[in-house]
Structure 1
Amino acid sequence: MQMDFGNPDTWSTAIYFWIIPAVLGDAIFPPIPSEMVLITGGALSAEGRANLFLVGILSAAASWLGDVVVFQLFKRRLSHILDRWTWGRKIHHGIHEAIAKAGRSSTYGTIIGARFIPGGRLATSAAAGIADVSTPGFNLCAGLGGVLWATWLVGLGYFTGSATRLPFWASSLIGVAVGLVIGAVVGLIVTRRRGDRSPVDEPGEAPGTGN
């Protein structure tokens, strides 16, 4: 069966199946456009073509689960598993760079808030695992952060769709543009430290020798 991507009914059916893999994948590979998926879900909800509550719940749950996976991967010192594959080494190196750019703070406030800046979700989850943050504390903060993050993005899509009354795809693009601008501003304000030495060992290097 061929999908008609210009048909809103196609998107309204598929959006529920795209949210979980997109948000989970974004936890390890930030270039995955999970934000766009969530904003699109909100825009579809504004047209009555998706359930706003269900979109929000799936988004928050997938965000929490992805954060926990990354956190446990580094807390249990299993990050070396990534180095077995070329793509894994690239991801490991990307995590190293993300922590260096976003800073090494693993405070509870950072766990909640850093997800709103590019790469912040991955960096803080990995850094919290390395810093041996308590699992209950991380789970609680990741859950709260996931709810806030999902509410912001889905709500942005819903508000844009309701305010513009444009087709859902146009509302989604406007919402993404607004989100990128706000995210960039937040990133400039929050991300003060650049080039900090990352606590993540570079792939292929012995522990404690990575930069």
Structure 2
Amino acid sequence: MFDLITAWLAAMGSFGVAALMLLENVFPPIPSELIMPFAGYLAANGTLSFAAVVIAGTAGSVAGAFLWYQIGSLVTEPRLRRFIARHGRWLTISVADLERALSWFDRHGRTAVFLGRMVPGVRTLISIPAGMTGMRTLPFLLYTALGSLIWTTALTVSGYVLKAQFARVEVLINPVTNILLLLVASLYVWRLLNSRQSR
């Protein structure tokens, strides 16, 4: 899987980084904790530009967050709850996830948008309460971009710095990433089945 992801990113370049980060924010098939370090590794060996990787990762992340912001601004909370209760399993989102994001936003206000970009489990949905409460678009995009920039830069740096280790332990990374993606897929299937049984 290491070879597959790095080959795909190398072939698609910065566009591939942006696309995967957008997908990770809408429907997380591959977490950003895998995407950006791999992209950083490719930047370290000269395949990609470090600056382009960070910009693309941030842009994809902001685009995904803005989609959820728009959804939050267009629907009411009860309607969104009903939608997630019925169809959220396909997006690996539960009502509990929505409640966590709403609670996070209530506690931290606008800074939740900034901080939430760096918190797994909150990152995907923190944009919804921002849209629901009528947070203005420009401040939302600014906070989101800053938080996403810090997060993607940190992950890219980790891959860049660990270039030598990536090369040494590639034999171990392949099975580890395979297991991780298998666990993600298994969790997705489990949530689908569990949701169906609950209904």
When the two structures are superposed, what TM-score results if normalisation uses the length of structure 2? 0.68
Of the three residues 159, 162, 167, the one matched with 2:161 is: 159
Q: Distance in 2 between matches of 1:36 and 1:105?
A: 25
Amino acid at match of 1:167: A
State the shift of 1:93 in Å: 7.5
State the shift of 1:7 in Å: 10
Identify unmatched segments of 5+ residues in structure 2.
178-199
Q: Equivalent residues in 2 for 1:113-132 (5 A)?
A: 113-132=115-134
Aligned to 2:93: 94
Amino acid at match of 1:23: M
Q: Structure 1, residues 54-77: CA drift from partner, whole Å, max 9, x if none?
A: 111101111111111110111121
Q: Equivalent residues in 2 for 1:34-45 (5 A)?
A: 34-45=32-43
Q: Distance in 1 between matches of 2:65 and 2:7?
A: 31
Q: Which has the higher helix share?
A: 2
The answer as to whether partners of 2:23 and 2:29 remain within 8 angstroms in 1 is: no
Q: Structure 1, residues 63-121: CA drift from partner, whole Å, max 9, x if none?
A: 1111111101111218969949x7x4425771532233455233222111122222211
Q: Distance in 1 between matches of 2:152 and 2:140?
A: 18
Aligned to 1:183: none
When the two structures are superposed, what TM-score results if normalisation uses the length of structure 1? 0.65
Q: Equivalent residues in 2 for 1:1-211 (5 A)?
A: 5=3, 11-77=9-75, 83=83, 88-91=87-90, 94=93, 96-102=95-101, 104-106=103-105, 107-161=109-163, 164-167=164-167, 170=170, 173=173
Q: Distance in 2 between matches of 1:108 and 1:160?
A: 34
Q: Distance in 2 between matches of 1:135 and 1:91?
A: 28
Q: How many residues align?
A: 169
Q: Distance in 2 between matches of 1:103 and 1:151?
A: 27
Q: Structure 1, residues 111-170: CA drift from partner, whole Å, max 9, x if none?
A: 111222222112211121222222221111011112111111111111111xx3541873
Aligned in 2, Cα 1:160/1:132: closer, same or farther, shift over 3 Å?
A: same
Aligned in 2, Cα 1:17/1:134: closer, same or farther, shift over 3 Å?
A: closer
Aligned in 2, Cα 1:169/1:43: closer, same or farther, shift over 3 Å?
A: farther
Q: Distance in 2 between matches of 1:159 and 1:171?
A: 19
The answer as to whether partners of 1:104 and 1:127 remain within 8 angstroms in 2 is: no
Identify unmatched segments of 5+ residues in structure 1.
178-211
Amino acid at match of 1:170: E
Amino acid at match of 1:117: V
Aligned in 2, Cα 1:50/1:117: closer, same or farther, shift over 3 Å?
A: same
Amino acid at match of 1:105: W
